[in-house]
Structure formats: structure tokens, C-alpha cells
Structure 1
Amino acid sequence: MVDLTTAARAIGLGRTKAYELARRNAFPCPVLRIGTSYRVRTVDLLELVGIERPLDADGLSDPDGQATRATV
């Protein structure tokens, strides 16, 4: 997860606008409110900017973003 300010910078928004959109549930990707903080899931942000996580041999995305092959 990344904080809202970091997510906003990644898509070219300022901090104030990002918080305004988050409060109105209008941020371009889902925003989670945890206590008093706003967080954006990294996978949602990457998808928004057009970056997909690599898939492993089974077609599953590896949690750390590295494509891996299962060893038998």
C-alpha cells in the first residue's frame, strides 16, 4: 500500500485535490481509510497507470512482483 499523497503524485494530482477526491469517493482508484489515514493498494495504482504485474507459469501474480516458476 502507498499513502494517498504518493498515489496522487504517480497520477499527476496535487495533495489537496487528492484528499478532496478521496473524501468524495471520487479518486480514480479505490482508496482505503485506515483510522485517519488514506491508503491506496499498490496493485490498484499500478493498474490505473497501465502497469500490470508479471504472471508466473500458472498465470498467477507473484506477491513481490517477480514472475517465478514452480519447482517440482
Structure 2
Amino acid sequence: MTSPPPRLGPLTFTEVFDLPVTVDLRTAARALGICTQTAYRLIHRGVFPCPVLRVGGLFRVPTTPLMRTLGIEERPVYAVDLDAGMGAGQDDGA
């Protein structure tokens, strides 16, 4: 059985909040609504809209600055979190 092909459009709001601490350049480009090739051009010109880390031959983009660039300052609180006792500003104990 094969998995479905990856979604190529921009990331949804929910997908953005499920990102790990850093993302690859393709994911960051999707979040920004630009193609990967444009993202590489912006990096090489030094004008990518948020910090980019070079790890070996790969580019990684920290998620928090990426979210700020998208105008997202805080993580939302989902109803599931409230049911579990985790509200805004509370630690989940992890």
C-alpha cells in the first residue's frame, strides 16, 4: 500500500501549529506561500524573511521566527488541551 502524495499548497493554520522546532526549507516556503526555488533565491540574496540556519548542506528554519513572520505570536489553545487541563500559560508537565 502506498501513501498519498504530499500536499503541495500552502500550509494550513493547523499544520503550522504542528511544526517541529525547526523545519526544512521546503516546509518554510510552503508556510510562506512561495515556491522552494524562490526561497533559495531569497536566502542567497540575504533577504529571506526570517532566520535560516545552515546545517551541513541543508537549510533549516526555526519555527518560532517563521510563525512570527506569518503574524502568529502565540500558540492557540485547543478544546482538547482545555479538556486535558492545559490552558494558556500552563505547563503540560512535559
Q: What TM-score do the two structures reach when normalised by structure 1? A: 0.72
The code of the aligned residue for 2:40 comes to Y
Identity %: 48
2:89 pairs, out of 57, 64, 67, with 67
Structure number with bigger Rg = 2
Check if 1:24 corresponds to 2:45.
Answer: yes
CA–CA distance in structure 2, aligned partners of residues 45 and 68 of structure 1: 23
Q: Which runs of 5+ in 2 are unaligned?
A: 1-21, 76-87
How many residue pairs are counted as aligned between the two chains? 58
The code of the aligned residue for 1:39 comes to R
Q: Secondary structure at the match of 2:27?
A: helix
CA–CA distance in structure 2, aligned partners of residues 9 and 67 of structure 1: 29
Match of 1:50 in 2: 71
Q: CA RMSD in A?
A: 1.6
Q: What TM-score do the two structures reach when normalised by structure 2? A: 0.56
Match of 2:59 in 1: 38
**Higher percent of residues as helix:** 2
Match of 1:7 in 2: 28
